[in-house]
Amino acid sequence: MSRHSSGWCCARLSTLGSRNKRLVGEALSELSKTLNFRLVDGLAERVIFREFYPRGLTAIDDVSQLALGSRPTMSHVTARLEMERLMTAIMLGHLVARPPESSDASRDAA
């Protein structure tokens, strides 16, 4: 069993670097050793997330032109990858279904 057996995670936002972010990160790292939790990268504030929710979608849904009303963009792909990384870090990666490599979103993002 790992040192962090409680399963608690602290997700931090992935924003621009700053002195304050570094100091908070160092403090959380020390605190995680005492309180037995893991630090994981969180989600960045993205406009795309606000576009998904009114449509009943999430960043891990297999989005199509029909669901979005337009073709998926690089923002869709980036949001999905960020969400997949977070879910894997908190040990829920098995719940993310990978879209086929030949899908329109993958081809358009390349």
What digits encode the pLDDT tens for the residues 91-105? Answer: 877 777 665 554 444
10 neighbors 39 (Cβ within 8 angstroms): yes
Cα(76)–Cα(52) distance, integer angstroms:
9
Cα(7)–Cα(4) distance, integer angstroms:
7
Q: Give the angle 92-93-99 at the CA atoms, nearest 5°.
A: 135
Name beta bridge partners: 39.
10
pTM: 0.62
% of the chain beyond a pLDDT of 90: 3
9 neighbors 90 (Cβ within 8 angstroms): yes
Cα(47)–Cα(83) distance, integer angstroms:
14
35 neighbors 9 (Cβ within 8 angstroms): no
More confident residue, 6 or 108: 6
